[in-house]
């Protein structure tokens, strides 16, 4: 919401016929909205401001091809480094252990009430490190946080940030952190071990160390927009110790237990679950599979049921699909071990 004095300045500009003043104040309000993560409002304002004021006949003046461009869409240097999405995912739709859910909910609560915290000179939790095996829901969590907070999700393309050219990577990372400070959003550094690796490890020691040092330094900077920074990795053992204390929360994801498997399957099947499912047996078949693999197995069983004109998915179909997933995983593991 614009401050009262901005509204007064707008009205005064309007009454005085001072278009420049109206425009300047409106742009300030749009920028403030963008900083709050109110991307749609900001984009609507920007679009209105970019609209040619004269009738279509004289439209050639001040061509504004950017009129329809969403304000949140990264431009310039950032365009290659960051992708943006507006996810609809929800934490409540995810299968999480109560401990993980509690900590994520706490972050959402603090972020939602950040105004109140700021009044007391406190900042909400905003830096999150997610560790856990592939397919356990780390990337999905970043989407769900953006969904819960109604913020855009910016995913940083680390492969584009890390270049072979000395010094360039730190400059690119700087641009990303500038955006973090200016536009409220959820910023995901996926496969984070690429930069969070131990400073002594690897061949490209010099450059990787420089990037990590920059990252550590940037992470300490005050972030007035309270953007949420999520780093995710399935190789926590590679992470540098210096990172640990800089995150507000470090959340560990694990493979699902029997309850987790049941939760994923029930959610996915919704009304199509056969009534007589033995969860112990199904849990046994799913043992060692990730949340992602179990989800895929259920989808496979669902597809088969629909094509066979069956109304429900039964125990045997689920076990077959789970076994097939495990066989697939083992075959791939063998390929890599050879």
Paired with 229 in beta bridges are 127, 187
* Strand segments (E) across the chain: 82-85, 127-131, 153-156, 186-189, 228-233, 249-252
> Pick from Mg ion, ligand ATP, none: which does 137 bind, CB < 5 to 8 A by kind?
ligand ATP
* Residue of 212, 265, 291, 298 interacting with ligand ATP (CB under 6 A): 291
Pick the closest to residue 305 from 321, 328, 292, 294 (CA basis): 321
* Sheet arrangement for strand 153-156: 82-85, 153-156, 186-189, 228-233, 127-131, 249-252
Query: Do the Cβ atoms of 161 and 169 come closer than 8 Å?
Result: yes
What residue is closest to ligand ATP based on CB?
A: 137
38 contacts which partner out of ligand ATP, Mg ion, none, CB within 5 to 8 A by kind?
none
Restricting to residues 221-280, name those near ligand ATP by CB under 6 A.
Answer: 232, 234, 264
Instruction: Indicate the residue among 234 and 320 with the shorter CB distance to ligand ATP.
Output: 234
- Min dist CB 136 to Mg ion, Å, is 9
Among 110, 111, 126, 139, contact with ligand ATP (rule: CB under 6 A): 139
State in angstroms the smallest separation of the CB of 289 from ligand ATP: 11
Tell me the C-alpha distance between 241 and 13, whole Å. Answer: 55
Q: In Å, what is the CA distance from 322 to each residue of 1, 70, 203, 205?
A: 51, 42, 40, 42
Q: Which of residues 95 and 126 has its CB atom nearest to ligand ATP in the complex?
A: 95
Report, in Å, the least distance between residue 233 CB and Mg ion: 9
d(CA 96, CA 291): 10
Residue with smaller CB distance to ligand ATP, 138 or 325: 138
Site string for ligand ATP, 165-204 (x = CB under 6 A): ----------------------------------------
Of 102, 188, 96, nearest to 151 by C-alpha is 188
Chosen residue from 25, 94, 107, 317 binding ligand ATP by CB under 6 A: 94
Report DSSP letters for 273-315, one per residue: B-S---HHHHHHHHTT--HHHHHHHHHHHHHHHHHTT-SSB-H
Total residues contacting ligand ATP (rule CB under 6 A)? 17
Q: How far is the CB of 234 from ligand ATP (least distance, A)?
A: 4
Contact 223, 103 (CB under 8 A): no
Of 141 and 225, CB closest to ligand ATP = 141
Of 22-30, 78-86, 136-144, 223-231, which part binds ligand ATP (CB under 6 A)?
136-144
The burial class, CB within 10 Å (0-12 / 13-18 / 19+), for 278 is: exposed
Which parts of this chain interact with Mg ion (CB under 5 A)?
Answer: 138-139
Cα–Cα distance, 246 to 229 (Å, whole number): 11
Dihedral in degrees, nearest 10, Cα atoms 92, 236, 175, 166: -160
C-alpha distances out from residue 46 to 23, 72, 227, Å: 10, 11, 21
Q: Which of 330, 332, 255 is nearest to 294 (CA)?
A: 255
Cβ 138 to Mg ion shortest distance, Å: 5
- Cβ distance to ligand ATP smaller for residue 71 or 140: 140
Q: Rounded to an integer, what distance in angstroms lies between the CA atom of residue 121 and that of residue 100?
A: 27
Of positions 111, 136, 155, 227, contacts ligand ATP by CB under 6 A:
136
By CB under 6 A, is residue 134 in contact with ligand ATP?
Answer: yes
Contact residue for ligand ATP among 29, 34, 96, 255 (CB under 6 A): 96
Q: Which does 291 bind (CB under 5 to 8 A by kind): ligand ATP, Mg ion, none?
A: ligand ATP
> Which residue lies nearer to ligand ATP by CB, 138 or 172?
138
Interacting residues with ligand ATP (CB under 6 A): 94-96, 132, 134-140, 232, 234, 264, 291-292, 295
């Amino acid at each position: 919401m614009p401050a009262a004095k901005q509204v007064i300045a707008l009205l005064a500009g309007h009454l005085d016929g001072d278009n420049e003043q109206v425009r300047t104040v409106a742009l300030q309000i749009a920028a403030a909205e963008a900083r709050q993560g109110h991307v749609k409002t900001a984009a609507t304002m920007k679009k209105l401001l970019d609209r040619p004021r004269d009738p279509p006949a004289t439209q050639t003046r001040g061509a504004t091809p950017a009129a329809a461009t969403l304000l949140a869409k990264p431009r310039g240097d950032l365009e290659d480094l960051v992708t943006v999405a507006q996810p609809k995912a929800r934490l409540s739709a995810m299968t999480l252990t109560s401990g993980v859910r509690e900590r994520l909910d706490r972050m959402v609560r603090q972020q939602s009430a950040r105004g109140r915290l700021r009044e007391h000179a406190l900042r909400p939790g905003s830096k999150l490190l997610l560790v856990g095996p592939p397919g356990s829901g780390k990337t999905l969590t970043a989407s769900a946080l953006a969904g819960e907070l109604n913020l855009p999700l910016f995913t940083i393309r680390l492969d584009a940030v890390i270049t072979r050219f000395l010094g360039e990577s730190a400059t690119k990372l700087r641009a990303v952190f500038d955006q973090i400070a200016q536009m409220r959003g959820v910023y995901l550094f996926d496969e984070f071990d690429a930069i969070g690796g131990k400073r002594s490890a690897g061949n490209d020691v010099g450059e990787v160390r420089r990037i990590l040092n920059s990252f550590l330094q940037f992470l300490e900077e005050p972030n007035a927009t309270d953007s949420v920074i999520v780093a995710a990795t399935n190789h926590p053992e590679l992470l540098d110790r210096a990172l640990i204390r800089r995150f507000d929360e470090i959340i560990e994801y694990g493979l699902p237990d029997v309850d987790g498997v049941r939760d994923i399957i029930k959610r996915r099947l919704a009304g199509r679950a056969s009534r007589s499912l033995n969860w112990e047996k199904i849990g046994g078949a799913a043992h060692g599979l990730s949340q992602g693999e179990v989800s895929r197995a259920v989808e496979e069983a669902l597809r088969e049921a629909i094509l066979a004109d069956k109304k429900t998915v039964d125990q045997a179909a689920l076990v077959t699909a789970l076994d097939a997933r495990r066989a697939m995983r083992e075959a791939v593991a063998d390929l890599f071990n050879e």
